[in-house]
Structure 1
């Protein structure tokens, strides 16, 4: 079993205001299906009202993320699945519910965990 990250940046979700309630309902339904199937690990979104900080090894804090990296925002779902094909199928369900494409990645986990 592998853990898969299914995600989208905030800018990808171009949903008219009058459809937001439907999208929220549909997304929560897919998440409940993932929980019922026993594949759900966690889901959520980046709180964009809290700016990121960089924390150095000595504990020094710098406001903002890496200046050279794209902004990290949007929604994330992590599912534990047996195959990439299963992950693609779940990503498609989430994409349909969210009304936007989803990026799919597999985690390379520490073998000691």
Structure 2
């Protein structure tokens, strides 16, 4: 199990984090902001793709209903996952703020 976790961290985290080198707070904030923006862009792109396919289906330019429904479901799952992650992050933040120092 530990090997799989290390493998995941090596594939997700930048090399500077994997090597446990000193990273400035500004760089860490910029990396986090970039990662968050990328994730939000991915959610938005899936929603836009779903909207486009739905519109094309309504206009009669697409005949494949299955493809439209699969794209819509992917967009729905992506959005729901991002909302759940947001809730967990807020809960964790609130829990940290309640800790006594």
State the TM-score bracket (shorter-chain normalisation): under 0.3
TM-score (norm 1): 0.24
TM-score (norm 2): 0.27
Q: Which has the higher strand share?
A: 1
The structure showing larger relative contact order (alpha-carbon pairs under 8 Å, at least 6 residues apart) is 1
Q: Which has the higher helix share?
A: 2
